[in-house]
Amino acid sequence: MIKVVGLKKSYGRLEALKSISFEVEKGSVFGFIGLNGAGKTTTMNILTGLIRFNGGKIFIKGKDFLKNKQELIRTIGYLPETPTFYNYMNAYEYLNFIARIIGCDLKKTRKSVGKLLEMIKLTKHGKRRIGGYSRGMKQRLALAVAFMNSPEILFLDEPASALDPEGRVEMLELIESLKDDKITIFLSTHILNDAERVCDKICIIDEGKILLTKNLSQLYETYIQPIFDVEFEEDPEEAVNSLKKLSWIESIKENGRRISIYVKDIDHAKKEILKEISKLNTNVTSYQIRKSTLEDIFMRMVSKNEII
Amino acid sequence: MIHITVIDINFIITEILRLLPFFIPIIIIQYGLMIFALVQLFRNEAAYLPKWGWALIIIFFGIIGPVVFLIVGKKKEIEND
Amino acid sequence: MRSFKAYFKKEILESVRGNKYLILFVGTIFWALMDPLMLKLLPLILKNYLPADLIVLFSTFNRDTAFQTFLNDLFQIGTIIIALTLMGLLSNEVSLKKLVFPYSRGASPAGVVLAKYIHYTITISLFILIAFLTNYFYINRLFTGGMLSIEIALKSSLLYILYYSVLLSILLYFSSLFKRGLIAGISVLVLGYSLSIFNQFETIRVYLPNYLLFKAADIGHIFDNSLIPTVIISFCIIILLVFFSILRMKKIDVA
């Protein structure tokens, strides 16, 4: 559905995207994950045709994006992170305005504008000027705009960031239901729990480079690696140093009196780790084996000190 | 060198009375716009100056005051996010 | 065409709710009403304070000179009001990221630019026409003498309309070029005023749009052959600048 090859973008001297490549399959939810400033929004702005890029190729539905932009863009819906409207319009007027641009049948539109407003629960406020809307209301209106004319590909940039917890759950349910409708979704987020719940494929981007692109199931298989969380009574500096010397321990993350131990061989570690800890001359207050989550994988990928 | 005669004053007064109807549209535009600008000022936020400052400009700067306020002083919904 | 219609309606809504019609209307019509009255009243008011020979100077105003005074004031003040009201025409859309949704839903830059240009050209043309007719009516009631006729007033208004169409295309292009509307507005003002200086040089003035203003005040010979190059150049400027604005809006990053 979407194929990106060697995409580059720089703002002056700053390289925002350093030749990124990935592919999104039809009907899947593609999770684009990264810290703020990693290049998520830049990538989405390029893929929706809003900004130019400096190099690389983009194919959407097998067609060169640059050459067929006007045609391809009609099959795309975009929900930007901070949506902007003509604030002197009300929701009805804005949706009708967008409908005119898309070229929807106006009779059909009137019906669907009403339906859209119902869906985003703005029917009551439909005649109020958008300038007076709250951030969450604007976000929901933006969703309606992105949804108009049922696009084949939806780009959602941090869709839940402005929503309250209830709205956030609804958003996730909505994405799941869209998946059933065979709509391809490109979802950027830094909320890893959300990504874990709805995405088929995960792509981690950091400082304009893609660190990994994998199916979620594949990701767990490859990176599934229990983490041993051990908490000591006192500062465990000495303990850490002696544990680090062991060949089967990959790395140790320190967090005060608590340490997380990443290992190379799980079965071996399960047998050995307790023995090793008991050799240390310190008191342990807690010990547990934790299954690694997307967050752990993400943290390991983006923090430069860690070995992948 | 300057002579003011009774005839002169009478002439001036009749001239002004004759011109009076021509002033009506101007007065309507001027005061209509002033009132409109003041209403806008109280309903919306003002930019750059405190509201009383804009009120003085609208009232005392003739036609220019309300126009300047509507162009730069009124924080337009178009621009605030 | 879809984008053109959508943006044309949007500009109407924006002009109503952003008071743009009101400002442009007042900015053009006010001087049409005020100028003749002031010219008539000033000698009366100053009669007691000025020497008689100066008063004579004032009372020599006839319909033609009163009309020329209006033309001059309309140019000086009307230009400021138009430039300041419409300076954000494209720059605001880009810098405030208002085009993200329309562009992401396939709005065509040509439609957007043409809708804006045509909408405001029609608006300003209409207001100029109303202002000229009102001024003509006032002058006829207040002054005598001169050869001003409704035909002359209409011809003159036509040249003003063409001049402001050129100015609007410059404003449109500058507004697409600069991120801040104020820079576009002030550049247009400086350009508009400074080009009038060239009306003193017979050889080059016919190639500059400000010659339209010069001829609009040339009562009795408004339309003559000297205008041909000016009119052709004016239309060329409009077409080129609208075209360049479209190109610019096609290439510009809107997010």
pLDDT digits (tens, 9 = 90+) for A61-71: 999 999 998 88
**Do the domain assignments include residue B60?**
yes
| Interface list for C 102-161 with A (CB within 8 A) | 102-108
**Do the domain assignments include residue B1?**
no
Give me the residue spans of the domains in chain C: 2-251
C9–A100 C-beta distance less than 8 A? yes
The number of C-beta contacts closer than 8 angstroms across A and B is 13
- The answer to whether ipTM exceeds 0.85 is yes
| Interface list for A 46-75 with C (CB within 8 A) | 48-52, 70, 73-74
**Do the domain assignments include residue B16?**
no
With contacts defined as CB-CB under 8 Å, which chain A residues touch C3? Answer: 101
**Residue A298 in tokens:** 């993400």
Per-residue pLDDT at A305: 41
**Do the domain assignments include residue B17?**
no
Work out how many domains chain B is built from and give that number: 1
Residue ranges of alpha helices (H) inside chain C are 2-17, 20-46, 52-59, 63-73, 79-86, 91-95, 100-104, 109-142, 150-177, 181-195, 202-205, 211-216, 227-251
Residues in chain C: 255
* Tens digit of each residue's pLDDT (9 = 90 or more) over C68-103: 999 999 999 999 999 999 999 999 999 999 999 999
**Do the domain assignments include residue B4?**
no
A145–C101 C-beta distance less than 8 A? yes
> What are the CA-CA distances from residue A268 to residues A127, A221, A249, A260, A293 (Å)?
66, 18, 10, 17, 21
Tell me whether A255 touches chain C (CB under 8 Å).
Answer: no
| Sheet with A153-157, side-by-side order of all strands | A76-79, A153-157, A184-189, A29-33, A201-206, A209-215
**Do the domain assignments include residue B63?**
yes
CA A305 to chain B, closest CA, distance in angstroms equals 40
Strand partners, C62: none
For A88, nearest residue in chain B (alpha carbons) = B77
Per-residue pLDDT at C92: 93
**Do the domain assignments include residue B3?**
no
Find chains touching chain C: ≥3 CB pairs under 8 Å: A, B
User: Choosing among A41, A60, A101, which should be mutated to test the C contact, i.e. which has the most C CBs within 10 A?
Assistant: A101
**Do the domain assignments include residue B20?**
no
Q: What confidence category does residue B3 fall into, taking pLDDT thresholds of 50, 70 and 90?
A: low
B78–C23 C-beta distance less than 8 A? no
User: What is the domain extent for residue B47?
Assistant: 25-81
Tell me whether B1 touches chain C (CB under 8 Å).
Answer: yes
* Tens digit of each residue's pLDDT (9 = 90 or more) over A10-53: 988 888 999 999 999 998 999 998 888 889 999 999 999 999 99
Residues in chain A: 308
Q: What angle do CA A50, A55, A60 make, to 5 degrees?
A: 55
**Residue A22 in tokens:** 């990935």
Choose between C240 and A236: higher pLDDT: C240
A84–C101 C-beta distance less than 8 A? yes
With contacts defined as CB-CB under 8 Å, which chain C residues touch A85? Answer: 98, 101
Strand partners, A228: A261, A289
Measuring CA to CA, which residue among C89, C10, C117, C109 is closest to residue A97? C10
* φ, ψ dihedrals at A10, nearest 5°: -130, 145
With contacts defined as CB-CB under 8 Å, which chain A residues touch C102? Answer: 97-98, 101
Q: Residue B25: exposed, middle, or buried by beta-carbon count in 10 A (0-12, 13-18, 19+)?
A: middle
